[in-house]
Amino acid sequence: MQRGKPTNRLLDYWVGAPLLNLLATFRFRRTPPAQFHRIGVMCSPALGDTLLFSGPLQDLRAALPAAHIVHICMKANLAAAEIIPGANERLLIDLISPAETIAKIRAQRFDILLDFSSWQRLTAFYTMFSGAKYTVGFRTPGQHRSRGYDLTVEHTRDRHELENFRALLSGSGLFPSLPTLHAPAVVIPDTTPSPFEDEPDVAVFHPWASGQRSWLREWPEERWLALAQRLASPETLFVVTGAPSDSVRITPFVERLCSAGLRIAPFVSPDGFRSLTRLLQRARLVVSVNTGVMHLAAIAGAPTVSLNGPTAEHRWGARGRCVANVQPADGSGGYLHLGFEFASQPGDIIERITLDQVAEACENLTARCTSAIPEPR
């Protein structure tokens, strides 16, 4: 159930919540088994959520190194799940095929199933009927989805989603005892090609978001052009990335930057996120709106500037070794908590981020991080 589809989300709420709570009335909360040999984990199918889940998944692996961990995935996030470490295997399910999905999950015979999604009633429903010996999930205020879990952990709006994930692990007693936490990371096969590998200076722009009202998170095109002109040197190649669905916008945007005398190239990854990750890892700088590719760049170790308009930095901002978050200087914006709270909010928040703000963030971040860019793996 994707937050980018309002009809599905409303159906999930108005039908799913009453049904889920009715069915949960007949359940009793159980105590956990003595040992966890088979562990199931499931998170939102959103790309950004899945990539942020990389760190907690490694934390779980560190806490239980001998356990068999199965990452339950949907079609929308399978490609992202394939590049994050920690799981022994991935189980592909179809969220809108209940009978098939429940049968697949029950066949795993989990000792514990951890549901890291924050608002979907459907994932809570599948967890309740998973056949797992013990289940854990979030108690998210206003979402009416937690009664079917054996253990609930508070999901809060005052901490980053990465820390909410880790709170669920900690509340389950499955947090590693080591003091150093794993940072979110991606693992790419050595055979994956590195795009534009002959270019000495690559800067990546990702101007487009996805999901519900995505245009509210997109910076004006003329400012991207002005930013490129501010950052350009004779050897700089600006690479504009996007999904296949963005192709109709990539071409005229690239042509516009070319006509301004900039070296520019489009890139749509041919192999999911593998080649894209290679590109991001070797970039001197990545500038992106707050979307999944921004999170991918940040956890891949690229110097990443995130443009946060309606998206709250403290909830969904870039997290990584070399990142900078930019938001409107007037303090507006940042109203998105679960990703769909657009009602009665202004539509020009992202436009309040100025060119000077972003250019200064890019220059400062490049100076701080360029020498620390890792070699592509």
Predicted pLDDT of residue 9: 66
Predicted pLDDT of residue 371: 52
Predicted pLDDT of residue 21: 85
Predicted pLDDT of residue 44: 94
Predicted pLDDT of residue 6: 64
> Global pTM?
0.92
- Domains in the chain, ordered, with CATH? 6-171 (3.40.50.2000), 201-370 (3.40.50.2000)
Predicted pLDDT of residue 127: 97
Predicted pLDDT of residue 22: 84
Predicted pLDDT of residue 375: 42
Full 3-state SS string of the chain:
CCCCCHHHHHHHHHHHHHHHHHHHCCCCCCCCCCCCCEEEEECCCCHHHHHHCHHHHHHHHHHCCCCEEEEEECCCCHHHHCCCCCCCEEEECCCCCHHHHHHHHHCCCCCEEEECCCCCHHHHHHHHCCCCCCEEEEECCCCCCCCCCCEEEECCCCCCHHHHHHHHHHHCCCCCCCCCCCCCCCCCCCCCCCCCCCCCEEEEEECCCCCCCHHHHCCCHHHHHHHHHHHCCCCEEEEEECCHHHHHHHHHHHHHHHHCCCCEEEECCCCCCHHHHHHHHHCCEEEEECCHHHHHHHHCCCCEEEECCCECHHHHCCCCCCEEEECCCCCCCCCECCCCCCCCCCCCCHHHCCHHHHHHHHHHHHHHHHHHCCCCC
Mean pLDDT in order along the chain per 10 residues (377 residues): 59 76 86 97 95 96 96 96 97 95 98 97 96 98 95 97 97 83 87 93 96 91 98 97 92 96 96 95 96 96 97 95 95 92 92 98 92 43
Predicted pLDDT of residue 180: 63
Predicted pLDDT of residue 212: 83
Predicted pLDDT of residue 377: 34
